[in-house]
Amino acid sequence: MTPGTGARRPVVAALYREALPPRIAQVQELAEVRLTKADGLAEAMDGADVLYQWHSFSPALKENWAAASTLEWIHVSAAGVSQLLFDDLIHSNVIYTNSRGVLSRAIAEFALGFVLDMAKDSHGSFRLQQEQRWQHRITRKIHGQSALVVGTGSIGREIARLFHAVGMNVSGAGRTTRPGDADFDVIHSSRDLANVAGDYDYLVLAAPLTADTTGLINAGVLAAMKPSARLINVGRGQLVDTNALTHALATGSIAGAALDVVDPEPLPAGHPLWAMDNTIITPHMSGDTEDYLDDLGKLFVDNLKRFCNGEPLENIVDKTLGFVPAP
């Protein structure tokens, strides 16, 4: 898609921290671009039509909101935006888009990798290798195992597709209970997790962080899981009560966990989770593949072309919900 003859040429304030946004030359072909770091954001937004928030976790927008009076559209290079929304922005007429979908496949692959790591005890094999020990063991198969994916958006659906591809049975949990669809055998209400968690071998978290999902996985949900079940979190650390999870893992209430995100983050040195043999911890990297930055840049360029042509934008966030609603 390219801008038409009468396409608008907007002013774009592009907020970055260190490296410039990828594909910035393409952005400059479409718009007047004001590149800025956080300390210059107020000046850059003066008279600007668009804010390209490449420095996606910066609080600078909230701090300089008074200078954003002409903004029509804000795009952030992240999928999760709960930490970026604030009342003045939520109640404004500014369109807010995110990068939903760009990282979904990579995160789903990471979640499947966690399942395979735990089922085949890859970490146990590595430890034995380091000790130069040839010790035969029995592992678990994943065909026929069941997973409940909490979060039925883009990431959750990619996870479901990959899990189905290896023969797993996959249900979802979302805001409301509804019959199964193309990706999930059935969709439960997230409010019913304590009642249904015991039916699954894997509880996989891929939900956005909202007021309703914060602390969703609490002691009650963990106690309801099978002792042989595993928890996987590729969503947000605050979805889980960390103290309750630590207790469940230490006491054997659940068999294990694989955590790409934690609360707090980073996990402090000396925290009990670091030393647990039944826990895998990675540093919030499940979506970060070799080419993901360029993919994020391409999404903005494509959406900017739509903006210039007066066409509907993709990935519009419902600011009261904190995520892009499913179609």
> Active-site residue numbers?
236, 265, 284
Beta-carbon contacts of 194 under 8 Å, excluding residues fewer than 6 positions away, are 220, 221, 223, 224
Do 151 and 235 touch, CB atoms closer than 8 A?
yes
Residue 36, beta-bridge partner list:
15
14: phi then psi, degrees, rounded to nearest 5: -115, 110
Beta-sheet pairing, 256-259 with 230-233: parallel
User: Which H helix or E strand runs over 256?
Assistant: strand 256-259
Please say whether the beta carbons of 172 and 160 come within 8 A.
yes
Structure tokens at 24: 């910035």
Kindly give the pairing relationship between strand 256-259 and strand 50-53: unpaired
Residue 225 is encoded by which pair of tokens? 């899981």
CA distance 106 to 91: 33
Q: What share of the chain is helix, strand, coil (3-state, %, to 5)?
A: 35, 20, 50
